[in-house]
Amino acid sequence: MSQRLREELLFMAVIVGLMIAALYMSAGYPFNARLMPQVVAIAVLVLLSVEGVLTVRRSRASRASGDAEAGGEHIGDTGNEPVWGAKFRRSAPYMAWLAALYLGIYLIGLMASAAIFTAAFCRLVGKMSWLATLIGTALLMAALFGLTEAFNMRWPVGYFFDPFR
């Protein structure tokens, strides 16, 4: 079984688990509330079992024909390298940036985090000049303050402090 197939089946298994949980949880609801989720959950389980079989067949057929692209293995992946792994490795740094932004919002609020995140990202990832970074960040902050005033918007405040509160 290829790594790609294992990953796809694992993804489907997670959906199966969620649908079984939905069936279990909805059993206690009144008829009108449980009808739709139960019908949908059962339909998902039935269709997913068909799709699971088709996915295995597709994977076998593509391996037999040696057609990596038809089997879903993306161009650029080497051999049996997992798609998720290859893609995740490329995406992980940017997910980490996103996680850092969330941590910043949690700690010091959105406004301050937005300023720091934007400036840092523009400089370190975008390789923008200091001037362009400062102008871009200043414009973004001005837009945020403008929106705050115009629409009386609220932002998440930090757990410890929020310099813009």
Partner 1 sequence: MLAAAFDALTLVLDPSRLVFMLLGISVGLVVGILPGLGGVVGMSLLLPFVYGMDPHAATAMLIGMAAVIATADTFPSILIGVPGSAGSQATILDGYPMAQQGKAGRALSAAFSASLIGGLVGALVLFAILPIARPLVLAFQSPHLFMLTVLGLCVVGLLAGKYPFRGILATLLGIMIAMLGSAPSTVTFRFVGDSVYLMDGIPLAILAMGLFAVPEIIDLLADNRAVSKVKEVSSGWKDGVRDTFRNRWLVLRSAALGVAVGAIPGLGGSVVDWLSYGQAVQSAKDKSGFGKGDVRGVIAPESSNNAKEGGSLIPTMLFGIPGSGTTAVLLGGLILLGIQPGPSMLTSDLSITLTIVWTLALANVVGAFACFLLSRPIARLSTIPASKFAPFLLIVMLVGAYQNTNQWGDLIAFIVIGMLGWLLKTYDWPRAPVLIGFVLAPSIERYLTISASRYGWSWLADPMVIVIGVLAVGVVVAGVRAKRKGLGET
What are the residues binding partner 1 (CB under 8 A)?
Answer: 7-8, 11, 15, 19, 22, 25-26, 29-30, 32-33, 35-37, 40-41, 43-44, 47-48, 50-51, 54, 57-58, 61, 70, 72, 83-84, 87, 90-91, 94-95, 98, 101-102, 105, 110, 114, 117-118, 121-122, 125-128, 136, 140, 144, 147, 151, 153-156
Helices 3-26 + 83-108 axis angle, to 10 = 50
Q: Report the candidate in 113, 116, 99 with the shortest Cα–Cα distance to residue 155.
A: 113
Q: Which is nearer to partner 1, 79 or 135 (CB)?
A: 135
Q: Which is nearer to partner 1, 63 or 72 (CB)?
A: 72
Round to whole Å and give the CA distance between 20 and 6.
Answer: 21
Give the other-Cβ count within 10 Å of 99's Cβ.
10
Q: Which is nearer to partner 1, 16 or 79 (CB)?
A: 16
CB of 137 to partner 1, least distance (A): 9
CB of 66 to partner 1, least distance (A): 14
Q: Which is nearer to partner 1, 50 or 79 (CB)?
A: 50
105 Cβ contact list (under 8 Å, min separation 6): 113, 156, 158
CB of 164 to partner 1, least distance (A): 13
CB of 55 to partner 1, least distance (A): 8
The torsion of the CA quartet 11, 16, 21, 23, rounded to 10 degrees, works out to 150
CB of 10 to partner 1, least distance (A): 10
Q: Which is nearer to partner 1, 68 or 140 (CB)?
A: 140
- The tokens describing 131, both together, are 């001037």
